[in-house]
Amino acid sequence: EAGVAQSPRYKIIEKRQSVAFWCNPISGHATLYWYQQILGQGPKLLIQFQNNGVVDDSQLPKDRFSAERLKGVDSTLKIQPAKLEDSAVYLCASSLALGRYYGYTFGSGTRLTVV
Amino acid sequence: RKEVEQDPGPFNVPEGATVAFNCTYSNSASQSFFWYRQDCRKEPKLLMSVYSSGNEDGRFTAQLNRASQYISLLIRDSKLSDSATYLCVVINAGGTSYGKLTFGQGTILTVHP
C-alpha cells in the first residue's frame, strides 16, 4: 500500500513570500489532516477534511493560511504571506473515515524555513 | 493550561535501563489515548494504544488512570534504537471531529552505550 505522499520535502522562502504544499493521501482515505510541527513541539492540527469538505479549521490562521481538497483526494496548503514564525514541518495525514479512530498514516512532511 | 502535557526531558539513559514517561491531559471527556514515536526528522508513527486495563507490547507497557487524567509509558531493557521522541496523544469525544489527534510536546529519549 502506497503511503501518504507530500511535496516538496524542503522549502526555503523569504518572509512575505507565498508557498504551497501538496499532499496525496492513501487511496480510499476519506479524511485528511494538515498538522504544523514547530521545532521542539508536538504537531498541532491546522485543518481537517472529510472528502472535500472542511470539518475543523479552528486553528488555521485564516488571514494567511488556506487549504483545499477540491476533488476529495489531493490537498494543497498555502501560506501567503509567510512569516518567520511559520518555519516548521507541515505534516499531512490521512485516515479511513470519521466517527472513530481508524488509525492515521502520516506523510514524511514538508520542512519550511522562512528567512 | 495545555490540553496534553508531557515532561520534555531529555532523558539520557544507558542501555538496559528502565525508563518511564508521564503525560497528563486536561479534558475529562477524552476518550482514546496513544503513544506515538517520532524519530529525528521523521514523521510520527503509532507505538501503541493505551487502555484503562493497561497494556503491554514486548518491552513497552502503557497505563491509563482516568481518575487522575494521567497516562504513562514504561520502557524496559532500553535499546539504542529506542532513542526518539515519544508523543502522548489524546482523542476527545465529539461528533465529526472525533479522530482528531491532540499531541503533547513530546519527551526526548536518548539511550547511550
The tens digit of pLDDT for each residue in B24-37 reads 999 888 888 999 99
| Average confidence (pLDDT) per 10 residues, chain A, 115 residues | 92 98 95 95 94 92 95 95 98 84 89 98
User: Which whole-number Å values give the CA distances from B35 to A112, B41, B64, in the listed order?
Assistant: 26, 18, 11
What pLDDT is stored for residue A4 in this prediction? Answer: 97
End-to-end CA distance of chain B: 37
What pLDDT is stored for residue B29 in this prediction? Answer: 81
Residue B103: Cβ within 10 Å count: 23
In contact, B94 and B102? CB cutoff 8 Å: no
Residue B93 has pLDDT above 80, yes or no: no
**Candidate from A56, A103, A109 with C-beta closest to B43:** A109
Residue B100 has pLDDT above 70, yes or no: yes
Nearest to B42 by CA among A44, A91, A32, A77: A91
**Backbone phi, then psi, for B95, in 5-degree steps?**
50, -140
Residues in B lying within 8 Å of A, measured between beta carbons: 4, 8, 32, 41-46, 87, 91, 96-106
In contact, A63 and B6? CB cutoff 8 Å: no
Mean pLDDT in chain B?
Answer: 92
**Are the beta carbons of A95 and B104 separated by less than 8 Å?**
no
Nearest to A108 by CA among A85, A86, A90, A95: A90
In contact, B112 and B15? CB cutoff 8 Å: yes
**Candidate from B8, B99, B106 with C-beta closest to A100:** B99
- HSE-up of A87 (CA within 13 Å, CB side)? 11
Q: How far is A108 from chain B (nearest CA, A)?
A: 5
**Are the beta carbons of A91 and B105 separated by less than 8 Å?**
no
d(CA B86, CA B64) in angstroms, rounded, equals 16
A66 grid coordinates = 488556506
Torsional class of B7: left (φ above 0), alpha (ψ -120 to 50), beta (otherwise) = beta
What pLDDT is stored for residue B13 in this prediction? Answer: 97
B51 confidence band (pLDDT: 50, 70, 90): confident
d(CA A59, CA B3) in angstroms, rounded, equals 14
Query: In sequence order, what are the beta bridge partners of A86?
Result: none
Residue B96 has pLDDT above 60, yes or no: no
Residues in A lying within 8 Å of B, measured between beta carbons: 31, 33, 40-45, 48, 50, 55-56, 91, 95, 98-104, 106-109, 111
Residue B20 has pLDDT above 60, yes or no: yes
For A56, name the nearest residue in chain B, comparing CA atoms only: B97
Q: How far is A105 from chain B (nearest CA, A)?
A: 8
Most confident of A34-38, B4-8, B88-92: A34-38
How much of chain B exceeds pLDDT 90, in percent?
76
Q: How far is B80 from chain A (nearest CA, A)?
A: 21
Cis peptide before B44 (omega within 30 of 0): no
Residue B92 has pLDDT above 80, yes or no: no
B113 grid coordinates = 552505550
